[in-house]
Amino acid sequence: MKYTSTLLAVTDMEKSKQFYHDVLGLDIVADFDANVTLTGGVVLQTMDTWKSFIRTDKVILPNNAGELYFEEDNIDTFCNHLKSFEISYVHELFEHRWGQRVIRFYDPDKHIIEVGETLGAV
C-alpha cells in the first residue's frame, strides 16, 4: 500500500488551478480537464465528476473537518504574499503553544489550507 494524493472536489476548475498556483506555488503535473494533479500530491476534481464517482449529490461545502497542511521557511514573507489576494481567513497568523506560527485560510471552495513555519525554524 502506498499513499499517493489528496483529492479535493472543486466547483470551478480554472479558478482553483489559478489559486493553487498563484497562492501556494503548486504546478500542474497532469491535466485531464475534470481531474488535475498538482505538485505535492494535491488532486483537483470537478464537482460534477466527483458526485458521479461517489454516486450522490450530497457533497457538503464548506466544512471544517480537515485541511491541507503546508510548511514555509519564511512565514512572514508568505503572509505578506497572501495580502496580494482576496483571501478568506479561518484565522490570521498566530503562535501555537509549542512555538510554531501558523495561518489558516480557505481555498475558493472553502477547503481549509494551513501554512505553518517549518518546525526547524521554530
Total domain count, the chain: 2
Question: Domain check: are 43 and 80 in the same one?
Answer: no
Question: Domain check: are 80 and 119 in the same one?
Answer: yes
Cα distance between residue 38 and residue 42, in whole Å: 5
CATH code: domain of residue 28: 3.10.180.10
Question: Domain check: are 44 and 81 in the same one?
Answer: no
Q: Is the pLDDT of residue 121 over 80?
A: no
List, in order, residues 6 or more apart from 75 with CB less than 8 Å away: 93, 101, 102, 103, 115, 116, 117, 121
Mean pLDDT of the chain: 96
Mean pLDDT over residues 35-50, rounded? 97
pLDDT digits (tens, 9 = 90+) for 71-114: 999 999 999 999 999 999 999 999 999 999 999 999 999 999 99
The pLDDT, as a whole number, for residue 84 is 97
Give 120's pLDDT tier (boundaries 50, 70, 90): confident
Establish if 60 belongs to a structural domain: no
| Residues spanned by the domain of 92 | 66-122
Establish if 59 belongs to a structural domain: no
pTM (2 d.p.): 0.94
